[in-house]
């Protein structure tokens, strides 16, 4: 019984620390995604992902499943209705490890709209 009052501050501190780590790691993921987007996507999509680009549509908020299908295979996930029906995009297989970061950046861009 006496241990409960002693453990409560430790549990609260652990939760606060884990939330900070999550926040920091999420910020790093978004930053990496922004770099990936700037280097690989802005030739066709606008530098601001909430806007349509010269060739590609606005992509802010694109989910990971869509990115995996479109970026890796130039396909759409089952049941997805594309904004533009074109197959101009070429696969970027080398981006596979960075797709979670790209999805995090695009989600953050959609939230900041």
Give pLDDT, residue 4.
42
pLDDT confidence bin for 113, thresholds 50/70/90: confident
Asked whether residue 70 is assigned to any structural domain, the reply reads yes
Higher pLDDT, 9 or 77: 77
Task: Give the pLDDT mean for 2-23.
Answer: 47
What is the span of the domain harbouring residue 51? 15-111
d(CA 24, CA 27) in angstroms, rounded, equals: 5
> How is residue 67 written in tokens?
């990115």
pTM of full prediction above 0.85: no
Residue 68: CATH number of its domain: 1.10.760
What are residue 37's phi and psi, to 5 degrees? -60, -50
Asked whether residue 4 is assigned to any structural domain, the reply reads no
Asked whether residue 10 is assigned to any structural domain, the reply reads no
Instruction: For the chain, count helices (H), then strands (E).
Output: 3, 0
Give yes or no for residue 50 having a pLDDT over 90.
Answer: yes
Asked whether residue 39 is assigned to any structural domain, the reply reads yes
How many structural domains does the chain have? 1
> How is residue 19 written in tokens?
């939330």
Q: How far lies 11's CA from each of 8, 18, 22, 24, 66, in Å?
A: 5, 11, 16, 20, 38
Residues with Cβ within 8 Å of residue 89, at least 6 apart in sequence? 44, 56, 70, 71, 74
Give yes or no for residue 19 having a pLDDT over 50.
Answer: no
Give yes or no for residue 62 having a pLDDT over 60.
Answer: yes
Give yes or no for residue 20 having a pLDDT over 70.
Answer: no
pLDDT confidence bin for 51, thresholds 50/70/90: very high
């Amino acid at each position: 019984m006496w241990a409960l009052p002693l453990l409560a501050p430790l549990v609260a501190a652990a939760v606060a620390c884990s939330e900070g780590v999550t926040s920091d790691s999420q910020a790093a993921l978004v930053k990496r995604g922004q770099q990936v987007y700037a280097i690989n996507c802005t030739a066709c999509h606008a530098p601001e992902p909430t806007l349509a680009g010269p060739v590609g549509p606005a992509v802010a908020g694109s989910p990971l499943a869509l990115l995996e299908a479109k970026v890796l295979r130039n396909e759409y996930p089952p049941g997805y209705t594309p904004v533009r029906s074109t197959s101009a995009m070429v696969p970027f297989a080398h981006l596979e490890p960075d797709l979670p970061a790209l999805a995090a950046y695009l989600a953050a861009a959609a939230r900041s709209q």
